[in-house]
Chains A and B, each alone.
Chain A
Amino acid sequence: MTKMKWTGLILGLIGFIMPLIVTFPGLSLAGHFAMSIFLMAAVFWMFETIPIYSTSILVIFFQVILLSAEGFITYSGADYTPLPFSRFIATLADPIIILFLGGFVLADASVKYDFDKSMTRLLLSPFGSQSKFIILGLMLVTAVLSAFMSNTATTAMMITVILPIIARMEPGDPARIGIALSIPFAANIGGIATPIGTPPNAVVIAALNQQGVDVAFSSWMMYALPLAVVMLFVAWLVLLRLYPPAVKNVTLNLSGKLKTSRNAVILYVTFGLTVLLWVTEGLHGIRSSIVALMPVAVLTLTSAFDKQDIRKLPWEVLWLIAGGIALGISMKETGLAEWMVGAISWDQFGYLMLLSVFGIVALIMSNFLSNTVTASLLIPLAISLVTSGLLDGVAGMLMLGLVIALGSSFAMVLPISTPPNAIAVSTGMIQTKHMISAGLIIGLIGLVLILLLSVIYWPFII
């Protein structure tokens, strides 16, 4: 174990034990246990003492033992009625998890039948051969794909597209850096566009659902898609400005054929139909998580997606999200979240100030931590701010949730900020310093735009 992990282990244990020894006035017994779990999880997630998904599993495990009606602690006071243990483990089948499962099956099946590559060829063809439009095209394709597939897999696929392009460019051409940066940035930005684009969206939406606030697939897109589009252009302009292409034209060599096997065609149709039903949720009202079962059913019953493929799904990401959802439940139900936000006198903050604080904290935190972890740690606090009456009801809650989800996705300063960033730096085409300067500019503009939307756009459509 590295020094970092040891530090995390020791701090995590201290964090876990402290609330068991110290009594905090105004906090229930259950709140103390919830705090133990929260502190341990926060430290383990930050130091990655154990893999982040194991921390999530540990959260659920301790909740069942310490906070459930079937657990080892008998609660008699009136301040906490223990939840059934099934409530904690049911987070693994939360509607948003099922939505993600559907998304994962579609994404993995797309990779299996090279649908992602075929889409890339199709979508890139209208962008001609001028360098700057090729870069725009690459970014648009990346963003579109990453709105429905994992940002990481999309980046990896697009790297296979750009490496040959970069290899044909002059060694000194600044656009090499620009192109290598454009892919992870576009993937991070594209992830915000839909609920299934990236895991932090799931954590936020699940937390809102717990409060009785339903977020339809199409509503989320209405809130976030315009921002994604604008940010994509902003990122494009920033990269062109920082790394202007030295030559006017680049050649794009898009070879490959659309697969036409029976299974591939089944996938294309299922993919198209699912996405269509998702984005039109507002019209027909069928919940996106119910729609998500359709591709799972169709692709497995036709064997387009078989047992091996099911085993290869990124199950640990679902655990990670479930742990985040579960953490929110225990913090809210035990009164811990309310107690924590009660420690700061928020009423001195204006409404915009409050959104800014959460936006800035989310942006900073997720540059160093996993985006999902950032959202998991912040959303319970944000929700209690609203439920304790400090912010205005449903709209306030939704906007705070959006600020957290979008803010954590706009963190792209360092290679460790997101897996797409890590992949891009690993190509050796860019150095960390390139990422820092461009990522900082884009992150800050993103934050300002998020706050702007919370004043001039969201209040009018929520």
Chain B
Amino acid sequence: MEKKIYILVVEDEPEVLDSIVRDITEFEAFFPVEMADTAEEAREIIRSILDEENEIGLILCDHVLPGDNGVELLVEMQNSEETHHTRKVLITGQAGLQETVRAVNEADLKHYIAKPWKKGELISIVRELLTDYVLEFEPQPLRFMQVLDGERIADHIRTSGKLTDS
């Protein structure tokens, strides 16, 4: 079985969660989307994805959550070997400067999306980050070419020698 690459969305307000997931539906057929409304639930989902030997390619995470906050979750993921390479994005209205700086320094935050976001912007960020991830870690990036940045994937095949004449 080819391993699956998941997108994890963590957001406590149901309407906001819905709207994020709706905006990124075009990726869902290739990157299954999992949803959590707290950091605790996110941890459980992460565990079960990893237990099935799949990966989390991208997390879109709100900061203010009941219980542990988003930045804490991201830092924790950064420090764990299995989720170290997951591309991490904060999608929030209320993260203060201090927490944001912590996310950048300690969780290698790839993007900060301020609410309210534009659909086009969200899609292009997701596309670029997933392309980064796939080019770095996926042995057969070709299978994701049609939903990701096709030009970058084609150029990667041209230069990497991953695919050769047979």
Contact = CB atoms under 8 A, between A and B. Distances in A.
B142 A371 contact: no
18 contacts: A52-B166, A150-B164, A151-B165, A152-B157, A159-B150, A159-B151, A160-B151, A313-B161, A314-B164, A316-B164, A370-B166, A419-B165, A422-B142, A426-B143, A426-B145, A427-B146, A427-B150, A428-B150
Contacts of A317: 164-166
A153 B164 CA distance: 7
A111 B157 CA distance: 11
Contact of B165 (A111, A150, A157, A159): A150
B115 interface: no
Contacts of A191: 165
Given A116-B158, A150-B165, A163-B154, 5 more contacts: A152-B165, A156-B154, A317-B164, A317-B165, A419-B165
A262 interface: no
Interface string B134-166: 000000001101110011001101110101111
A176 to B, nearest CB: 13
Given A423-B142, A426-B143, A152 B154 contact: no
A108 B164 CA distance: 12
B36 to A, nearest CB: 30
Interface in A354-394: 370-373
B164 A163 contact: no
Interchain residue pairs A-B with the least CB separation, the first 9: A428-B146, A370-B166, A159-B154, A156-B158, A156-B157, A426-B145, A314-B164, A426-B142, A150-B165
Contacts of B147: 428
Task: Assign chain B's interface to a size class.
Answer: 10 to 19
A307 interface: no
B154 A199 contact: no
Given A157-B155, A163-B150, A423-B157, A428 B145 contact: yes
A199 B165 contact: yes
Contacts of B166: 52, 199, 317, 320, 370-373, 418-419
A282 interface: no
Nearest to B1: A2
Query: Which residue among A52, A316, A418, A426 has the maximum number of chain B CB atoms within 10 Å of its CB?
Result: A426
B76 to A, nearest CB: 35
Interface string A175-212: 00000000000000001000000110000000000000
Nearest to A317: B164
Given A111-B159, A153-B158, A157-B158, A163 B151 contact: yes
Contacts, number: 80
A111 B161 CA distance: 10
A312 interface: yes
Given A163-B150, A426-B142, A419 B155 contact: no
A156 B161 contact: no
Nearest to B160: A312
Looking at chain A's contact residues, the main secondary structure is: helix
Contacts of A152: 157, 163-165
Contacts of B142: 422-423, 426
A164 interface: yes
Interface in A108-125: 108, 111, 116
B7 to A, nearest CB: 19
A223 to B, nearest CB: 20
A173 B154 CA distance: 23
B127 to A, nearest CB: 13
A27 B147 CA distance: 56
Contacts of A427: 145-146, 150, 154
B156 to A, nearest CB: 8
Contacts of A312: 161
A414 to B, nearest CB: 14
A314 B161 contact: yes
Interface in A397-426: 418-419, 422-423, 426
Nearest to B146: A428
Nearest to B152: A160
Interface in A131-189: 150-153, 156-157, 159-160, 163-164
A151 B147 CA distance: 24
A418 B166 CA distance: 7
A160 B154 CA distance: 6
Contacts of B157: 152-153, 156, 423
A419 B164 contact: yes
Nearest to B141: A426
Contacts of A372: 165-166
A314 B157 CA distance: 13
Contact of A198 (B145, B146, B150, B165): B165
A372 B165 CA distance: 9
